[in-house]
Amino acid sequence: MPVGIDDISFYTTNFSLDLQELAANNGSDAAKYTVGIGQERMSVPGADEDVVTMAANASMALIDGMSARGEDPQAITTILFATETGIDQSKAAGVYLHSLLKLGPRCRVVELKQACYSATAALLLATAWVARKPKEKVLVIASDIARYERQSPGEATQGCGAVAMIVSANPRLIELDPETGIHTEDVMDFWRPNYRSTALVDGKYSTKVYLRSVRAAWQDFQHQSDLTFGDFDYFCYHLPFSRMAQKAHNHLANGNAHKLNAKALDQQISASLMYNRITGNSYTAAMYIGLVSLLDNTSADLAGKRIGFFSYGSGSVGEFFTGTLVKGYQNMLHQQAHQTMLDARQPLNYADYQKMYAFEVPTDGGDHVFEQQTNGKFRLTGISQHKRLYQVR
Ligand code: COA
């Protein structure tokens, strides 16, 4: 029985900063951003957005889709919420989401963490659960806000977004294979201690560890599966910035006796980079927004095509896995809604970006009402006695 992704949708906030505007104000050459790291814009969250509101906005398209097709959303009996922008050390962000989506009480909810990798653990754990309970569906969430110190090299690689996926038996989008390649090693390339709101990163080292991880995970994959590099039509990589995927793909290709020229190699990843170039890094969600980007921005019928995925989370865990697109997958896409959302984003000037960056959720235990900034259906209206308050608009 095939198991995999039945539906997928993503959300990003409705403000963005053009990296030319950042470059003009921090003395960098804009080409370093647009060419060197391959980024044009980054999404910026308003004060009334967090990982829960982003996740709820990403999920709504899936829930509405189920209802429109006469399917019961109560078949979702598990929510796996992957994030490294946790809002609470104890309560899972997914429990707030469960309430906002009005799912039934017979639904287990848990949060997963391992830097940008944990959504992949969530997805693969979901497939294992569905293989055991084929009538049940799992809602997998990846939701993050990538935040680095101002004036640091990482500042241009910020961004935010969320992806929601329904994992089911007989999926209508992608069937996932059980064989995967895994590589874990204890390194300090990127981390965020509990007392910090920004990540600590050894940026150049992190790119080296990423490349080491992709090679090692691929080597393990070769021991687990008979598939070779030539069996793949497209690749989706973790996307801290789009140039990283180009480097990783060339690195993987160079280690394999492939017959593709540079243009053909580029065609295997270029559509997956389009949304990342204009939304920026979204940690756990980044590779999956890459998958949505590939599907939304490729007009050819990809049914039967095989995609290779490399998921990387600093610290570090890397996993290579694979899936095949199902005939008729186009019926499940939300391309128009994604485009409308991206087109509606409001560009920020540098002063407004600085102001929005400076906002932090108050920690004094008082009652605080947040300014309405988002146009999303769900918003964080404030905080009262350390309790976050959400609203469906
Ligand atoms: N025109 C074109 N390219 C330019 C340029 C210009 N004017 N100026 C610089 N570049 C190129 C550099 O040659 C380099 O390319 P290369 O990597 O192929 O050598 C690239 O732009 C980046 O320049 P660099 O000087 O290395 O940038 P940086 O010191 O600001 O650091 C990161 C870049 C990615 C390390 C930094 O943004 C970062 O720390 N990001 C967060 C961590 C991260 O995303 N890690 C990824 C793994 S998860």
Count CA atoms closer than 13 A to 381's CA, side-chain side: 8
Q: Which pLDDT score is estimated for 210?
A: 98
Report the atom number in ligand 1 closest to the C-alpha of 155. Answer: 37
- CA of 37 from ligand 1 middle (Å) equals 5
**Sequential pLDDT tens for the chain (393 residues):** 999 999 999 999 999 999 999 999 999 999 999 999 999 999 999 999 999 999 999 999 999 999 999 999 999 999 999 999 999 999 999 999 999 999 999 999 999 999 999 999 999 999 999 999 999 999 999 999 999 999 999 999 999 999 999 999 999 999 999 999 999 999 999 999 999 999 999 999 999 999 999 999 999 999 999 999 999 999 999 999 999 999 999 999 998 867 789 999 999 999 999 999 999 999 999 999 999 999 999 999 999 999 999 999 999 999 999 999 999 999 999 999 999 999 999 999 999 999 999 999 999 999 999 999 999 999 999 999 999 999 998
Query: Two tokens at 100?
Result: 């906002």
206 class by beta-carbon count within 10 Å (0-12 exposed, 13-18 middle, 19+ buried): buried
Of all protein residues, whose CA lies closest to atom 32 belonging to ligand 1? 203
Of all protein residues, whose CA lies closest to atom 7 belonging to ligand 1? 32
87-124 burial, b at 16+ Cβ within 10 Å, e below that, comes to beeeebbbbbbbebbebeeebebebbebbbbbbbbbbb
User: Ligand 1 in contact with 240 (CB < 6 A)?
Assistant: yes
- CA of 39 from ligand 1 middle (Å) equals 11
- CA of 36 from ligand 1 middle (Å) equals 6
Tell me the residue type at 72. Answer: D
- Which residues face 165 on adjacent strands? 8, 140
Q: Which pLDDT score is estimated for 312?
A: 98
Cα–Cα distance for residue pair 363/373, rounded to 1 Å? 21
Q: Which pLDDT score is estimated for 375?
A: 94
Q: Which pLDDT score is estimated for 255?
A: 84
Report the atom number in ligand 1 closest to the C-alpha of 207. Answer: 47
Listed residue (299, 5, 315, 275) closest to 137, CA to CA? 5
- CA of 27 from ligand 1 middle (Å) equals 15
What's this model's pTM, rounded to 2 decimal places?
A: 0.98
User: Ligand 1 in contact with 36 (CB < 6 A)?
Assistant: yes
What is the 3 state secondary structure string of the chain? CCEEEEEEEEECCCEEEEHHHHHHHHCCCHHHHHHHCCCCEEEECCCCCCHHHHHHHHHHHHHHHHHHCCCCHHHEEEEEEECCCCCCCCCCHHHHHHHHCCCCCCCEEEEECECECHHHHHHHHHHHHHHHCCCCEEEEEEEEEECCCCCCHHHHHCEEEEEEEEEEECCCCEEECCCCEEEECCCCCEECCCCCCCCEECHHHHHHHHHHHHHHHHHHHHHHCCCCHHHCCEEEECCCCHHHHHHHHHHHHHCCCCCCCHHHHHHCCHHHHHHHHHHECCHHHHHHHHHHHHHHCCCCCCCCCEEEEEEEECCCEEEEEEEEECCCHHHHCCHHHHHHHHHCCEECCHHHHHHHHHCCCCCCCCEEECCCCCCCCEEEEEEECCEEEEEEC
Q: Which pLDDT score is estimated for 253?
A: 94
User: Ligand 1 in contact with 95 (CB < 6 A)?
Assistant: no
Listed residue (96, 77, 65, 176) closest to 134, CA to CA? 77
